[in-house]
Amino acid sequence: MKNTVNVLGIEFINKNFNEVIEILKNNIQSNKKSFVVTANPEIAMFAYEHPDYNAIVQLADMVVPDGIGIVMASKILNTPIQERVAGFDLTVRLLELGNEHKWRIYLLGGKEETNKKAVANIASRYPQLQIVGSHHGYFDWKEGIVTEEIQAAKPDIVFVALGYPRQEEWIVENLPRFSKGLFMGVGGSIDVLAGEVKRAPQFFRRLNLEWFYRLLKQPTRWRRMLALPQFLVQIFKIKLSDKTN
Ligand code: UDP
C-alpha cells in the first residue's frame, strides 16, 4: 500500500488514525521538528488555485486527509486513501497523550476571549499537560513577540489556529527559528475547544455529514462550501483526462 496518495497535487498520508498518531508521537518524543497540514477539500482547492499557498503546503512533513471529500476523491481516482483523519480528532488525541506524558503545549490563535477559554478548558480537562504559553491570533507578525515566546518556551506542540491560509503561512515563515516541536494548523478547532462552536453530533459524523451540520449551524459559510463541488469537478476532470490518455 502506498504511504501517500496524490489528490490535486497534494500528497496525503495514507495511514489510519492510530498510525498517524504514532508517527506524530515519535516525532515529539525524539524532539524532531515537524509541520503538519490537515487539509480538507476547501484547503486542497485553495492550494490548487494559489501557487504560493501550494508551495507552502508542499513543505509539510505530513498532510492528513481532513474531510470525507478528500477520501471520496481518492476513490474516484482509483487510489483510495484508507481513512479520513480529522484535524479535530488529532488535536484531542494529542492533548490526551500530552496529558499522559506531561508534554508542553502552546496555543496560538483565535480571538482573545476564545483563546483564554480554550486554555482554561484544556487546563481543567488535561491537568498534567503543561500549557507553556498562549496568544490570540490577531497580532503583528513582524513584531516577533509570539515567535520569541515560543523560542523561549520550547513547546512540544504548537497548535496554530489562524484559519487557512494564514496558519500555514505563519508556520512556514517562523519554523526555521524553532529547534523542536510539532506545528499544526488547527483552524476552527480552537472555537470548539473554547466551547463556542459545537462539534457535529455522532449521528452526522457517522454518516459523513459533518459538513452539512456545519452548514446548518453557520449558514454564512455556504459560500466557502462551494469549494466542495468545485473540488469534485476538478477531480472528475482529472479522472476523465486520465482515461483519454
Ligand atoms: N483567526 C485568528 N487570526 C486571524 C484569522 C482567524 O486567530 O487572523 C482565528 C479565528 O478567530 C478562528 C480561527 O482562526 O478562531 C479559525 O478561523 P476560520 O473559521 O476562518 O478558519 P478555518 O476553520 O476555515 O480554518
Say yes or no: CB of residue 190 within 6 Å of ligand 1. Answer: yes
Q: What grid cell was written down for 73?
A: 476523491
d(CA 12, CA 194): 29
Say yes or no: CB of residue 137 within 6 Å of ligand 1. Answer: yes
How confident is the model at residue 11, as a pLDDT? 98
Residue 20 sits in a domain whose CATH number is 3.40.50.2300
Q: Whose CA is nearest to atom 5 of ligand 1?
A: 162
How confident is the model at residue 226, as a pLDDT? 85
Q: Is the pLDDT of residue 244 over 70?
A: no
Say yes or no: CB of residue 118 within 6 Å of ligand 1. Answer: no
Say yes or no: CB of residue 166 within 6 Å of ligand 1. Answer: yes
Domain residues for 82? Answer: 4-244
How confident is the model at residue 199, as a pLDDT? 85
Return left, alpha or beta for 78; rule: phi > 0 is left, psi -120 to 50 is alpha, else beta.
left
What is the percent of the chain where pLDDT is above 90? Answer: 82
Say yes or no: CB of residue 162 within 6 Å of ligand 1. Answer: yes
Q: Quote the distance between the C-alpha of residue 46 and its chain's center.
A: 15
pLDDT tens profile 46-70: 999 999 999 999 999 999 999 899 9
How confident is the model at residue 212, as a pLDDT? 86
Q: Is the pLDDT of residue 81 over 80?
A: yes
- Measure 211 CA to ligand 1 centroid, in angstroms: 17
3-state helix, strand, coil in the chain (%, to 5): 55, 15, 30
Say yes or no: CB of residue 88 within 6 Å of ligand 1. Answer: no
Least confident of 101-115, 159-173, 174-188, 226-240: 226-240
- If one counts the domains in the chain, the total is 1
What is this structure's pTM?
A: 0.94
Average pLDDT, the chain: 94
Say yes or no: CB of residue 111 within 6 Å of ligand 1. Answer: yes
Residue type, 66: D
Task: Tell me the angle at which helices 210-217 and 68-76 cross, rounded to the nearest 10 degrees.
Answer: 140
* Ligand 1 pocket, mutate which of 40, 141, 191 (most atoms under 8 A from CB): 191
